[in-house]
Amino acid sequence: MEAILQTFSLTKRFGDVLAVDHVNLRVNEGELFGFLGPNGAGKTTTISMLVGLLYPTEGRVEILGDEVTPTHTAPLRRVGTLIPPVGFVPYLSGRENLRLLVHLYPEVDDRRIEEILEQVGLRDAAHRRVKTYSTGMKQRLGLAAALLHRPKLLILDEPTSGLDPIGMKEMRELLRRLADEGTTIFLSSHLLHEVEQICDRVAILHHGRILAEGTVQELLRGRRDLEDVFLSVIEGN
Amino acid sequence: MNRTWTYFTRLVAVERRKLFGRALLWAELGILALFMGVIYVALIAALNKGGTPGTPPEAIEAFRRSLYWPAGLYSAFTFANGGELGGMFVAVLVGAFVAQEYTWHTLHFWLSRGVARTAYLLAKSAVIVLALLLLVLTALVVGGGVTGVFTYLEMGGLPLKEISLLTFVLNFLRTALTLLPYAALTLFLAVVSRSTMVAIGVSMAYSLLVENLIVELLALFSPDIARGARFLPTMLSKSLMQLVSPAAETQVQVGMQTQAGSALLSPNVAALLLVVYTLVLLGLSLWFFRRQDITV
């Protein structure tokens, strides 16, 4: 299978703190890949390097077969990203914020914007300024922005944070459906049951290091659930 | 090349929508217009009352003439130049427009979508230039409008034949040019500090206090050292504005000669140095921005 996203010995150090320690990841085409770890494990730092916001101290990132660095982010135009807090222009409406993206993705038209607003359940609130949105609404709009141009790869950091239980369920179903339709998804989360329910493969990150990686079935072998796997891996370290 | 240009113009469109959709820009222009309107009306009212007691009649007459078109029209530019009100307005506008991208995470949003850092900052800079032109235009409309009405009422018409279109356009661009170093300085501060308060505060402190302080300090030394003040952006602005509104700037030049022991530079040299200041600060901003870790 073709690798859509790969990291090679990816490392990030902030002064004396080793936030990400020689992480090697491989996400294959069409896969829904779960990136698990407790708070402070280095998930967001890793994702920030994937999307060219941070310079790695060592190692490199390849997305869609092309290297990504903070000064070479062109491959990311074919990627959908959701990294909270999602940075929308607060004095523009939800719809206007999505319209700004049309300048970046010329293939997107007004019909697609309305379609995606409907899909994330924001059509009725799309005329409101983003500064009046709740966290959950911003998260939904963030997902709309990520999906707008029908990307081949989605990089999502805690996409269900701020959503109510119904919203979380809808989000899980949407992500599973997108993966089934062929979109590759890199999903970072600390919600174990969420990852267990929808992901094909999982990597567990702790103190910046990958402690376990495999399909959900492989990791669950002899274990009750992913929480059991997670705790034994973390505590065993 | 063509694709790169198309992509850049799209980014400019995004930044233009972001800036021109902001209440801050229109509030600033409104304040500038109001302030200038009040000043001009107050000046005309004072003139009509015969000025302050003891003012020689010839001085009052000279001042009256400086408000007639075309001099009155060009006097509007002096309000908007970088060494005057314009510098402060630019600091607030550019500081908020650039630094808030960090705090609002809009920067993260766009960069993580494959927008190149250099193109992003250059698109922002291009839109800032548009805003500066709008600022000068506002000053022109208000100042030119009030002095135009004054000229019409006093002289029974407007001396339009005395206004050269080329001079008018050049004066417009010269005034905008004086704003560029202040915009570039604020851009640089916003990128380096990532803080709206620091960018606006330091930039305003520089234009209001530091530059004048340097002029005063240099004047304490020998005349040769004092002449160094001519190379500060505020003095370069004054040098360039000699061409725009000679009457006002002559006073400055006389003041400078006595105060700092130096004359102003030639307008052409000043224009060149203003461009150099701008390019150096823009280059430094790009250099820092390209190397920055953008933390979430």
pLDDT at site B246: 63
CA dihedral sign of residues A33, A38, A44, A46: negative
Whether residue B115 lies within 8 A of chain A, CB to CB, comes out as yes
Between chain A and chain B, how many beta carbons pairs sit less than 8 Å apart?
Answer: 98
Contact B113 A76 (CB under 8 A): yes
The answer, for B122 touching chain A at a CB cutoff of 8 Å, is no
The mean per-residue pLDDT over the stretch A40-64 comes to 96
Measure B110 CA to nearest chain A CA, in Å: 8
User: Residue A84: its chain B contacts at CB < 8 A?
Assistant: 296
Which residue does chain B place closest to A72, by CA atoms? B116
Q: Is the pLDDT of residue A82 over 90?
A: yes
Beta carbons of A70 and B117 less than 8 Å apart: yes
Q: What is the pLDDT of residue A215?
A: 93
- Taking alpha carbons only, the member of A20, A60, A70, A57 closest to residue A41 is A20
A71, B296: Cβ pair inside 8 Å? Answer: no
Residue B296: the pLDDT is: 66
For residue A143, which of A133, A157, A132, A130 has the smallest C-alpha distance?
A157
Q: Is A44 a residue whose pLDDT tops 90?
A: yes
Question: Chain A residues with CB-CB distance to B under 8 A?
Answer: 44, 48, 51-55, 70-71, 73-79, 81, 83-92, 96, 100-101, 103-104, 106, 145
Residue of B nearest to A52 (CA): B112
Structure tokens at A189: 């989360």
Pairwise CA distance, residues A18 & A206, whole Å: 11
- Residue in B with minimal Cα distance to A146: B113
pTM above 0.80, yes or no: yes
Question: What residues of A are in contact with residue B101 (Cβ under 8 Å)?
Answer: 87
Instruction: Provide DSSP, B230-262.
Output: GGSHHHHHHHHHHHH-HHHHHHHHHHHHHHTS-
Nearest CA to B180 out of B126, B216, B221, B141 is that of B126
Question: From B109, which residue of chain A is nearest by alpha-carbon distance?
Answer: A87
C-alpha to C-alpha distance for B271 and B178, rounded to whole angstroms: 8
Contact A161, A140 (CB under 8 A): no
Q: How far is CA A24 from the centre of its chain?
A: 17
Over residues A102-122, the mean pLDDT reads 93
Residue found under tokens 């000699």 = B242
Task: Give the ipTM of the model, two decimals please.
Answer: 0.93
Chain A residues whose CB is inside 8 A of the B108 CB are 53, 83, 87
Chain B: closest CA distance from residue A225 (Å): 31
- Within 8 A of B10 by CB-CB distance, chain A residues are 103-104, 106
> Are B296 and A44 an interchain contact pair (Cβ–Cβ within 8 Å)?
yes
Partners of residue A129 in chain B, C-beta under 8 Å:
none
Contact A53 B108 (CB under 8 A): yes
Given this model, what pLDDT does residue B245 score? 72
> Looking at beta carbons, which residues of chain A come within 8 Å of B22?
91
Using CA atoms of A147, A148, A152, A154 in order, give the dihedral in degrees to the nearest 10: -30
Residues of B with Cβ-Cβ distance to A146 under 8 angstroms: none
pLDDT of B76 reads: 86
Q: Which of B17, B104, B296 lies nearest to residue A53, judging by beta carbons?
A: B296
Helix (H) / strand (E) containing A140 = helix A135-147
pLDDT in tens, A156-179: 999 988 888 888 888 888 899 999
Largest CA distance in chain A: 53
B23 touches chain A (CB under 8 A): yes
pLDDT tens for chain B, residues 1 to 296: 678 888 999 999 999 999 999 999 999 999 999 999 999 999 888 888 877 777 788 888 888 888 888 888 888 888 888 777 888 999 999 999 999 999 999 999 999 999 999 999 999 999 999 999 999 999 999 999 999 999 999 888 888 888 889 999 999 999 999 999 999 999 999 999 999 999 999 999 998 889 889 988 888 888 888 888 899 998 999 899 888 876 554 444 444 444 444 568 899 999 999 999 999 999 999 999 999 999 86
Instruction: Say which of A76, A87, A92 has its CB closest to residue B114.
Output: A76
Cis peptide before A151 (omega within 30 of 0): no
Looking at residue A6, its pLDDT comes to 97
Residues contacting residue B46 through CB under 8 Å, at least 6 positions apart: B52
Contacts of residue B99, Cβ cutoff 8 Å, sequence gap at least 6: B190, B193, B194, B195, B196, B198, B199, B200
Residue B85 is predicted with a pLDDT of: 81
**Model confidence over A175-225: pLDDT tens digits?**
999 999 999 999 998 888 888 889 999 999 999 999 999 998 898 888 888
Query: Which amino acid is residue B216, in one-letter code?
Result: E
* DSSP notation for B148-215: HHHHHHHHSS--GGG--HHHHHHHHHHHHHHHHHHHHHHHHHHHHH--HHHHHHHHHHIIIIIHHHHH
Which pLDDT score is estimated for A68?
A: 97
